[in-house]
Amino acid sequence: MRKAADDAFRDECGIFGIFGHKDSSAHTALGLHALQHRGQEAAGIVSFDGEQFHSHRSLGLVGDSFNRIEVIERLRGHSAIGHVRYSTTGETVLRNVQPLFAEFDFGGLAIAHNGNLTNAYSLRKELVSRGCIFQSTSDTEVIIHLIARSSYGSVVERVIDALKQAQGAYSLVVLTNDAMIGVRDPSGIRPLVLGELEGAPLLASESCAFDIIGARTLRDLEAGELVVIDNKGLENLKPFPHRDKRFCIFEFIYFARPDSIVEGTNVYEARKRIGVELARENGVEADLVVPIPDSGIPGAIGYAAEAKLPFELGIIRNHYVGRTFIEPTDQIRHLGVRLKHSANQGTLDGKRVVLVDDSIVRGTTSTKIVEMVRNAGAREVHMRIASPPITHSCFYGVDTPDRAKLLASQHDVEGMARLIGVDSLAFISIDGLYRAMGLRGRDAERPQYCDACFSGDYPVPLADCNAESTPNQLSLLDDQV
C-alpha cells in the first residue's frame, strides 16, 4: 500500500499492549504484525513475568525479529507491550527502538509511544541542564525523565504529572510491575483502542491488531483519557484540562488499515465515501476510473460508483518489491516506480482515464505513473485526489518532508497539473472531506479533526517547531543538548 519511500506521508508508529494473558508475548508479536503498516523500521516487545522485565528490540520487520520461538519464549510473562516504529524523531538506531525501559525507585517501567511531542526540545534542554543523561534521541525518553523527576507518590500520578508538562500528540502504552496504563493526549490526535481477549484487556493503535488474535474491540479511548489496568480491573481517569478533540483525519485517508474501525468508523467505507464526494465535486468526462494501487483503490471504487464509470485495474502493483530495493538516487527512484507499478496497456490504450490516488506529497510518484499511463496509450489522463492539497507539514508523529518540498505548498492546482503532466487535476475540498466523514463541512462546524496538513490550523501549539521547516526537530538537536 506504500508509494516510493520519499513520496508519501509515512505512518508514525503502532503500539500494542496486553495484560494478564499466558500468551502475552506471542499475541503482542501478532498484534504488531497487524500494525506493520504503521512502521517498518524497527519493532520491540517488553514483557513482565511478575519479577523481571524481558525485552527484545530489533531493527527491521516484525516477521524478521519475532519469527523464532526462542525469542517469544524468552519474553516470559503475563503482560507485554510492543511497538513498531517509523522514526519521526531520533535516528533509527537500536537505542531509539521502543518500548523504552527504565528502572525507577518504584520498579521498572516500559513505554511505547505513538505521536510526537512538540515541546520535546525545551523539555529535554531543561532536563539536561538539571543533570539528566539521555540514552536515546527519542522524544519518548523525555517522558521517562519527567516521570523519574516527579515528586508524586504513585506511578500513575507520576505519569500524569509528566504528561501534564508535555505538549503534542501522544498515545502511550505503559507497563509497570503492577499495571498497564494506556493514555491519549487531550486532543486525541493519535488513535488508541481498547480490546479484550479471554478476559485480558488489550490496547492497540488500531482494531486490526485485535482481529488477528481473535480479540474483541471494545471502544476507542477518549481524548485525554487514561486507563489503568491491573489485577483489580480497569479504572479510567480524565486527568488533563479539557481540549476539543482533533483526531488525525489522515488516518482515514491513508494511515489506518482499511479493515480497521477507527473512532467508530470503518476505514474502507470512509475511503469509499471520500471517493463519492470527490466525484460529486470534480466529475469529468471519461471512459474508466483507475486507482493507483493500493491506497487509491477504495477512493476509486467510490468515485466510479458515483460517476457511473467502469472501475478497472489499469495499473498493476508488484507486491514483491521490498522497501530497501529503492535507493535514494533520482535515477533509481525513477526505476523504483516502474518496479512497483506497471501500466496495463490492454485496459488503458485509447481510453480517457481518471486516475485516483489518496494524496500528493512531493508529486514524484504521480509524475512517473502518469507518464507510464500515457505510454500505455491513454488518450486523456485526469487525476483526482482523495485528499485536499497537502500544504503543511505534520508535527504530530508523521514523517513528512519540509514544507518547501510539498508540491502543493509551492504550486497552485494548475501548476501541479502541468508538472505532473495530466489533462486535469482536482482534489477533494476540506468541506467535502468532512462531508464524507458524516459532518456538514469544516466551515459549518468547529473543526472536528486535525486537518493541519491541509489547513495549517495546528490544534496543539508548535512550541519547539517551525512550521516552515523540518518537522523532526529533536533529531536536529542531537548535537546541541
**Could you list the active site residues?**
13
Establish if 453 lies at the interface with ligand SF4 (CB under 6 A). yes
Establish if 406 lies at the interface with ligand SF4 (CB under 6 A). no
Stretch that binds ligand SF4, among 64-72, 150-158, 246-254, 340-348 (CB under 6 A): 246-254
**Minimum distance, C-beta of residue 206 to ligand SF4, in the bound complex (Å):** 15
Contact 83, 96 (CB under 8 A): no
**Minimum distance, C-beta of residue 388 to ligand SF4, in the bound complex (Å):** 10
Measured between alpha carbons, how far is 340 from 336 in angstroms, rounded to an integer? 6
Q: Specify the pairing of strand 226-230 against strand 247-248.
A: unpaired
Q: Specify the pairing of strand 380-385 against strand 424-427.
A: parallel
Establish if 452 lies at the interface with ligand SF4 (CB under 6 A). yes
Helix (H, G, I), strand (E, B) or coil at 393: coil
**Minimum distance, C-beta of residue 217 to ligand SF4, in the bound complex (Å):** 22
**Minimum distance, C-beta of residue 396 to ligand SF4, in the bound complex (Å):** 4
Cβ atoms < 10 Å from Cβ of 396: 31
Q: Report the residue number, 45 or 394, with the smaller CB distance to ligand SF4.
A: 394
Q: Rule CB under 6 A: choose which of 110, 450, 460, 474 binds ligand SF4.
A: 450
CA atoms within 13 A on the CB side of 101: 22
Q: Report the residue number, 267 or 337, with the smaller CB distance to ligand SF4.
A: 267
Establish if 75 lies at the interface with ligand SF4 (CB under 6 A). no
Size of the site for ligand SF4 (CB under 6 A): 12
Helix (H, G, I), strand (E, B) or coil at 382: strand
Establish if 286 lies at the interface with ligand SF4 (CB under 6 A). no
Residue appearing with cell numbers 460508483? 305
Q: Report the residue number, 53 or 170, with the smaller CB distance to ligand SF4.
A: 170
Phi and psi based region of residue 199 (left: phi greater than 0; alpha: psi -120 to 50; beta: remaining): left
Q: What letter would DSSP give residue 439?
A: S
Find the binding residues for ligand SF4 in span 8-37 (CB under 6 A). Answer: 9
H-run or E-run covering 280: helix 267-281
Q: Rule CB under 6 A: choose which of 66, 86, 121, 250 binds ligand SF4.
A: 250
Q: Rule CB under 6 A: choose which of 16, 121, 396, 427 binds ligand SF4.
A: 396
Establish if 394 lies at the interface with ligand SF4 (CB under 6 A). yes
Establish if 248 lies at the interface with ligand SF4 (CB under 6 A). yes
**Minimum distance, C-beta of residue 260 to ligand SF4, in the bound complex (Å):** 16
Stretch that binds ligand SF4, among 85-93, 150-158, 247-255, 355-363 (CB under 6 A): 247-255
Helix (H, G, I), strand (E, B) or coil at 236: strand
Stretch that binds ligand SF4, among 119-127, 208-216, 308-316, 445-453 (CB under 6 A): 445-453
| Cα 194 → chain centroid | 18
| Cα 446 → chain centroid | 24
Q: Rule CB under 6 A: choose which of 80, 81, 159, 189 binds ligand SF4.
A: 189
For residue 268, give the nearest of 300, 237, 246 by alpha carbon. Answer: 300
Q: What is the total residue count of the chain?
A: 481
Measured between alpha carbons, how far is 117 from 129 in angstroms, rounded to an integer? 19
Binding interface with ligand SF4 (CB under 6 A):
9, 189, 248-250, 394, 396, 398, 450-453
